[in-house]
Amino acid sequence: MKLLTIIGARPQFIKAATVSRVIAGRDDITEILVHTGQHYDANMSDIFFEEMHIPKPDHHLGIGGGGHGQMTGRQLEAIERVLLEEKPDRVLVYGDTNSTLAGTLAAVKLHIPVAHVEAGLRSFNRRMPEEINRVLTDHAADLLFAPTETAVANLRAEGLPADRIKLPGDVMYDAALFYRGLARRPDWFAGHGLSEGAFVLATVHRAENTDDPARLAGIFAGLAQSALPVVLPLHPRTRGRLDAAGITPAPNIHIVPPVGYLEMVWLEAACQMIASDSGGVQKEAYFHGRRCVILRDETEWVELVEAGWNVIAGADTARIAAALADPPPTGETTQLYGAGDAASLTLDILVDMTVSGG
């Protein structure tokens, strides 16, 4: 089977690294890797390829920046050219970015079947670009790999047929298990006077927070009330928005450069708690037995909130402060996201469906 994989952003690099590593050990799949360039900064892209040993892309489209329509349209056009050249048996897309949607549209219009890894996630907030991307992708793809029972239920509720929906688990859990032993402490950690197990790790990057000065101020005011020091690897876009809004982080907030994946894994495992608006980090917190204070008004990973591990605080200063002061949960995590073999199961299904013509 000739499989063409489309990636473009950090969470997709992590998922693709896990699946591509399994593909490398098989002789029934040839993978063509296409990088759209959606994350083109070296700290957001190149370092992940180097650290995670992701194969060098066969095609690098170099398309990043611009508005959503412009970016998606340019990616669609470029991906279509690659598909006509490569003629794959199937296209594989991940997550909910513009690259996901562009790859899906380009493929289905050429009658190439599409498989979507991380299908069925729903925030039910149609103002999120990611929500539109994931809904359209799920309804256009012919094979939907859901990471959880909740995701399966979402797909069935939208009328998608059961034979298109598969539940292999979450490849992000595979990645957490594999890379945990390779995690690396950032060089700057000791210089900030921090101690393992005694800091909060925070990330803030979503447009709904960074583009709204009031929300951004509320989040940083909440982080300022943490009794523990806060480590914040700052996304370049967020730094610009802070400067534009005239927000100066409190002294307890340690602003550090963006980190690579292996450094992020170390920080997630070494912190006491996490505060983030990232969907992927919410899960990674759970994988490492850490609570995540969700800096959004809703989440796709509702099962973690229902299980008492994560808490939704939005951009409300008081709620963020209260959640950071609440003792984190204790006890073992359960297998909400599979058994750590999602990549192998996904590829087995892909090959079987392609051979059978499904």
Active site residues: 205
Residue type, 107: A
Task: Return all residues near 356 (Cβ < 8 A) that are at least 6 apart.
Answer: none
Lookup: tokens for 25 = 């050990």
Lookup: tokens for 129 = 């670009």
| Separation CA 106–CA 75 (nearest Å) | 9
DSSP H or E segment with residue 304: helix 302-306
Lookup: tokens for 264 = 């992020």
Centre a 10 Å sphere on the Cβ of residue 114 and count the other Cβ atoms it contains.
23
Residue located via tokens 């079987």: 352
- Selection from 204, 182, 195, 190 nearest residue 266 by Cα: 182
CB 115 within 8 A of CB 146: no
CB 205 within 8 A of CB 97: no
CB 88 within 8 A of CB 32: yes
Q: CB-hemisphere CA count at 13 Å for 171?
A: 26
Name the β-bridge partners of 311.
293
Lookup: tokens for 323 = 């959640």
| Separation CA 188–CA 208 (nearest Å) | 30
CA distance readout (Å), 43 to 49, 63, 234, 253, 256:
10, 16, 11, 21, 13
| Separation CA 305–CA 292 (nearest Å) | 9
Query: Where do the DSSP E strands lie in the chain?
Result: 2-7, 30-35, 59-60, 90-94, 114-117, 143-145, 165-166, 200-203, 230-233, 253-256, 273-276, 292-294, 311-312
Lookup: tokens for 109 = 């219009």
